[in-house]
Structure formats: structure tokens, C-alpha cells
Structure 1
Amino acid sequence: MKTFFKIENMRLFQRENGIWYVEFYRGKKKSLGTRDRKLAERLFKELQKEALKGKLIFLEKTQRITLDEFIQEYVTYAEAVKAPTTAYRDKYALQKFREFLGNISLAIINVKRLEDYITFLRARGRKASSINIELRHLKSAFSKAKEWGYLRENPFAKIKLLKEEKTPPAFILPDEMKKIFDYLREKDLIFYKLVFFTLETGARRIEVLRARWEDIDWKRKIIILHGKGNKKRVIPLSSRLEKVLEGERKDKGKLFPYEHHDTLSHKWQKVMKALGLKYRFHDIRHTTASWLVMNGVSLKVVQELLGHSDIRTTQIYAHLAPEVLREAIETGLRVTPKIHPVELKVVK
């Protein structure tokens, strides 16, 4: 195999069968379909001109890939290397995007089409926070499309996330939680124990679904929770939760017989509808944090219990502890000179 030209990450070469080929970057090869050297050189120079203009379009299958083909390939990849919940959300975001655009070529997806999709989602009443989650998953997928050589640029890189309205997290009031527990004890004892477990641990859905009996150390009274990315955190086993779980105690196996996080959300919404309440399943976790803060537990301790990697995430609950914050100001600024209000003079 002889190389006759090598220009701008491209080279022209002839294989043993006499056919001339062009090799592009990253080892991609394309037959020129001729054994004629002069014709091959002329075609190579034309391709080089197109490459220098930035308009070179590879004629191989990967450059003609459709959205359906990419989704199938990417979902297979995501399910193999990502956490199940993340892979599921990737798939969901791509499927919704496909429903809007249709099975078009990946190469013609541009910023205008993305902005049209965002407008469509907003017109349907989707919240900015929900749309942003979807955009992040799509951006990640299309970054991989670029990495695989299917796209020259990621169109999502030019899309800014929507401005989200910062609202305090919703939490369930004590009398409402009692109402929920009374209902579940009568209607669904297994789900009652799951909700109780979630409240006592502040666990995320994925942590609840992955909870196993062998993760409970009854002597040390701790529970090991397994979260996203196989992260682990240790939570104290309260006497209340111990009492609820004691009757079902086993040596191994899943604590709860559910496989998918959507199952928890759907069952929870049925309970909310029956009781006339409007909370998400994730609000149980917010409730754990909120009740802790309102009872004087420091934000740093709440951060540790909930497994927040950044204290700023925990600070969304700070407004619930005005007395704690007041004490922090009073004790933390004791070095400030004591100035009596009557000693202050107004300068006109």
C-alpha cells in the first residue's frame, strides 16, 4: 500500500487490489472507485479544496446517519456505561426530541430547530427547570455524536439554558404526612414502609430502589445507601425506622419489590389524588431536610445526611431557620464594636 499524497490530515493511497482510496482524520477511509492514478489525484485535490473550505462532507454511512439510528446507537451505549436512571432519562429526552423533529438526518439539526423545540415545550406548559433537564441530556448525547464523528459541531453548545424561577422547595406539613401514613397503613402497607423509609433517611428514589437488607447494620444502627454513580453514603438507622422494618427483617435481598423509579412516582401520585394533595415523591426528601432545619439542625449536618456534594444545594433550606441564622449572626459577629443607637449621628 503506497501513499502518494498527504495533506491536511488526508492522504491518498492505493491498495493491493489497485483501487485508490482517501484516508481522512481518525482513520476513516473512502474508496475513490478507480485504478487510474491521474483521476485519483484529481479527485483527491478536489476533496482537499472542499476540506480547506470547511465544506467536506463524507459520503460514508456515518455521515448520513439519521436521528433514529443515532438514538438506537446512543441508548445502547448509555445503558452499558451510565447509571440506569441517567440512561433512562437520556432515552426519554431523545425520544421526545424525535417525536418533534421526526426521523431526520443528524447533520441538518441546527440551532433554529432546537429553538423551535424549546418554544414547543414552553407552549405546552413545561417548566423551565424541566426543559433544562431535558436540554442537558440532549447536549450530552450530541456531544457524543460529535465525538463519534457524526457531527462537526454540537448544536446544543450554542443553546443557553432557560432562566429558572428560584422557589423554595415544597415540603409536606406534619398533619399532611400523618394523613398520608394513615391512608397507606390501611391501603398499602409495603408502600407505607417505603415512604416511611424515604422520610427517615432523606433517600433519593434510586437509593430507595437499591436499598437491600444486607446494607443495614442492626448492631451499629446504620444504613448504607447506594446512589447515582455507585456513590455510597451512611445514614443512621433511627429507632422509629428500626421498629417499622423489624417485622420484615431478612438476611438479604431488596427492601422493596419495585424496579423502576417511575413506579414509585406513579404510586405516589395515586395517593396524592386520593387525598387531595399535590406533592411529588421527591418532596419527601425535601420534607426530611426542611423538618431537620426547622428543628435547629445545622445546614452542614443536613448536607451530610442528604449527601449534598455542595453546601449551596443545602442552602435552599436556610430560609426555614431564621432563628438559627440569627444565632449565627449574634455569635459570629461578637467582635463588632457595640454601638448604641443613640450614639449614631445623622450627617446632613
Structure 2
Amino acid sequence: MGTSFEKVHDYMGRRVRGLWQRNGKFYQQLLVEQPDGQVAPRRILLKSTTLDNCRIEMAQKRGIRDQGEAASEPLEIPSFAVCCRRYFDFHESLKHGLKRQTTIDRERWSLNRWQVHFGHLRVNQVTRVMINGFMQKRLRGGRNPRTVNIDLINLRQVLKYARDCGFFTDQERLPTEGVKPLRYKAPVRPLLKDEQFGLLCEKADSSANRSGPILADFIRFLGFSGGRYKESLRLKWKDVSFELRQVTFGSDGLSKNGKARVVDFNPALEAHLRIMHARRAPDCKYLFPSPQRGGKDIPASDLRGSLFAARAEADLEWVGFHDLRHFFASYCVMSGIDFKTIAEWLGHESGTALIDKVYGHLAADHKRRMAQKVSFSLAQQAASPAEQPAVAAVQQSPSAVLPLPTQSGESAATTALAS
């Protein structure tokens, strides 16, 4: 028998409608949904090996199609590309989406790369070897390991959706299971210092650009509140409560995690907001109105171009808006604020773990610096003559190293300090 499909006939020579045979296997022809959404005939492999069993199985599949009965397995396993399309259609069709549109757009951009690699394959034919191979290809192309890890996360989401749709059996493992993310160490960004923060604001204030004053207000606001770039641009004055002394982020439901959070006023934030409120435009409800708004009441859409110009003048090319969020968190830590409160202000769902991981060293360094400011003047006056030189030396130079013990015993100064 050749490789082409052949019609099947019963023992009386009559044609069995909808049944075909190739290479000893039976196929049923049914009208099913195609990748482009149109309904067209498609041949589906049957498990049966005899004509009578094929007729029973064909009737079952027609019932599944016509009556919408639950199927033990899908009539057709879609390609990976089609599965991606259905995945996005599902999320975009939800009235109250599980994902924001910007998140969907980023996932689509990431998954397009996977589709180029194996989009033509049925989704259950994707293997772990293919995944690892594509990840290595991306690395050889100069991609950052963090970017490749994000691509892996997005792939895993689509495959989980495919399993929920029944394209993987309960016994089948997803090909992403066991694939470990690439090791990646984030570069340590320098901490923006007070004088650098002030210089950046000064350059924004003196900018000839119409966005300059708005940018200066925005920089100070992010540094004093820890707000994220996009969510802060959307803030309205109704989100600011001078009575409760707090500002609410994400009241529009568009925050990063979809939840609103409250940041309590600190003295710098409150003073800045009161100044902004006193000179706000009476016809504008936004904290940071667009400088090109004309008669419209719209917020500034993008201040990055103005920031690039200001930071170039300040010789701070490395500073981005997110560094202002780190500036806020760092100074909260060094001010002795507990990690739980900082995490709530920043909107970190991971709680104190991320704060401790990123900023914990600042708390330790700050404590060591504060310890050097502890003064025991009265106690030093009461110290013995042998103790006073050693105590004074340490207070004048905290990094000074005391004499090491000699073979005959410790020096008088170290003995006095140890007692």
C-alpha cells in the first residue's frame, strides 16, 4: 500500500463514508476548526484497527462534535502557533482580565520567538531538547540570560494552558518541567546620593524644555514616594489625601499586580505635594499634566526624553526612573524603617524577603556607621589612664587597628578594653 490515502469499503464493496486508510491505519474525515478559524475537512487518526470498531469510534467522534459531549481526548491537537493564538484570545476575551493588555503584548512578543522555532509542530510534540536548544541558540546570539528566562516563563504559561485544554494527558509531563532557569546575577547599580538627586532636580528645573518643571516635580515625587513610573504618571489629585496624609497608588486597577496600595506621607513627600497642590492648574485633575495638553485634561504620557536630557547635563547617564524607587527604598532602610512597612509602601507581594535581599546590606552598613557615633564621654573620663588612649584612638579613627597581643601577653590598652 502506498503513502496516499485510500477509500475504505466494507465486505460488500460499499464505500464507508468518511473513512480512509493509509499505511495500515484508519482515518476519519470530519469538519473541524482550522488554524485560521475556518471550518474545513480534516482526517483524524483512529485507534481502532477493525472496520466494525472504526464505525463505533467514528460515531463517538461525530457525537462529540455535534452534541458537545466531553471527550476523553481532543479531536485535534493544534499546532503550537495555534495554541498561542487561542491562549491570547482567551485572556483578551475576559471581561476582567487576569492579565493586563501590556502584559499580553509583552508575552506575545516573547512567544513569537518560540513560534519561529517550533510553531509548526503540534503542541504536544514540543520536547525538552527543543526548548534547551533554542535557549542555547538565544544565548549564542548575545541575549541576556534574564531575557531567556523570561521567555521560558512565557512558554511555560502557554503549555499549562494547553494541558488545561486537554492537549496533554494527566500522565504526560510538560516539556518545560525540569528545565532549570539560567543562572543570572543582576548587576549592582550604584546608589543615588543626596547631592546627585539634588543636581538632577536642579538640571530638570533649569531645562529649557516645556517638560522641565513637570519632570523636576516627577523626580522629587518618585524619590520621596517610591512610586513606579507608569502608575505615578496616572495619579490624580483625588488619590492624594492631605487629611489622612497618604497617597494611593493603583486606584485605577492598573498597578503592576492589579492591587491598590497606600504610601504614608513622610515630611519631604508631604511638603512637596503641598507645594505642587498650591500651584496646580485649576482645570487639571492629574498630578503631572501633559505640557502639550492644550485645553484637554490629560496626563503626561512620557517623560523619558526629558530625563535623558537632564541626566546628561548632570553627568548621571546611568540614572533611570527606577533608580528613584531604589533611592526611596534605600533611604527608608537607612532610616531604620522596618522591612514589612517598606514592602507595603513599595507594593512588593513577596513581603520582606525581597527588601532583605536587595537592601539588607544597607541596614547592616548603616548600623555599623551609627555605632561609631555612640559617645561614652563620661565613661571615658572615668576610665583608667591605660584605657583612655585606646578609647580615644578608636573614636577618632574607627578603622584603626589596635596592637596585637605580644608573646609575653596583651598590651596594656587591649587588656584594659577587654576587661
TM-score bin, normalised by smaller chain: 0.5 to 0.7
Cα shift at 1:230: 2.8
1:126-177 residue CA offsets vs partner (Å, 9 max, x unmatched):
3333332332232122211221233454322231112222654543223332
Bigger shift: residues 252-261 or 214-223: 252-261
1:136–1:280 distance in 2 versus 1, CA, 3 Å: farther
Identity, % of aligned pairs? 21
Is the 1:170–1:286 Cα contact (8 Å) retained in structure 2?
Answer: no
Cα shift at 1:96: 3.4
Residue 41 of structure 1 is matched in structure 2 by 53
Matched, 1:230 2:258: yes
1:276–1:303 distance in 2 versus 1, CA, 3 Å: closer
Matched, 1:322 2:354: no
Q: 1:64 aligns with which of 78, 81, 89?
A: 78
TM-score by length of 2: 0.57
SS of equivalent residue, structure 1 residue 149 = coil
- Whichever residue aligns with residue 64 of structure 1, its letter is P
Please tell me whether Structure 1 or Structure 2 has the larger radius of gyration of its CA atoms.
2
Residue 8 of structure 2 is matched in structure 1 by none
Residue 113 of structure 2 is matched in structure 1 by 96
How far apart in 1 are the matches of 2:333 and 2:44? Answer: 70
> Relative CO higher for 1 or 2, CA cutoff 8 Å, sep ≥ 6?
1
Residue 220 of structure 2 is matched in structure 1 by 196
SS of equivalent residue, structure 1 residue 228 = coil
Please list every run of 5 or more consecutive structure 2 residues that lacks an aligned counterpart in the other structure.
Answer: 1-16, 20-26, 29-41, 59-71, 291-297, 372-413
How far apart in 2 are the matches of 1:243 and 1:197? Answer: 11
Is the 1:170–1:279 Cα contact (8 Å) retained in structure 2?
Answer: no
TM-score by length of 1: 0.67
Matched, 1:141 2:165: no
1:289–1:154 distance in 2 versus 1, CA, 3 Å: same
Bigger shift: residues 76-85 or 251-260: 251-260
Cα shift at 1:247: 2.1
How far apart in 1 are the matches of 2:217 and 2:189? Answer: 24
1:108–1:289 distance in 2 versus 1, CA, 3 Å: same
- Whichever residue aligns with residue 183 of structure 2, its letter is K
SS of equivalent residue, structure 1 residue 64 = coil
- Whichever residue aligns with residue 41 of structure 1, its letter is N
Cα shift at 1:120: 2.7
Residue 241 of structure 1 is matched in structure 2 by 273
- Whichever residue aligns with residue 236 of structure 1, its letter is D
- How many corresponding residue pairs? 293
Please list every run of 5 or more consecutive structure 1 residues that lacks an aligned counterpart in the other structure.
Answer: 1-17, 23-29, 47-56, 330-340, 344-348
How far apart in 1 are the matches of 2:114 and 2:249? Answer: 33
Residue 155 of structure 1 is matched in structure 2 by 175
How far apart in 2 are the matches of 1:270 and 1:342? Answer: 60
* CA RMSD, 1 decimal: 4.2
Cα shift at 1:223: 0.7
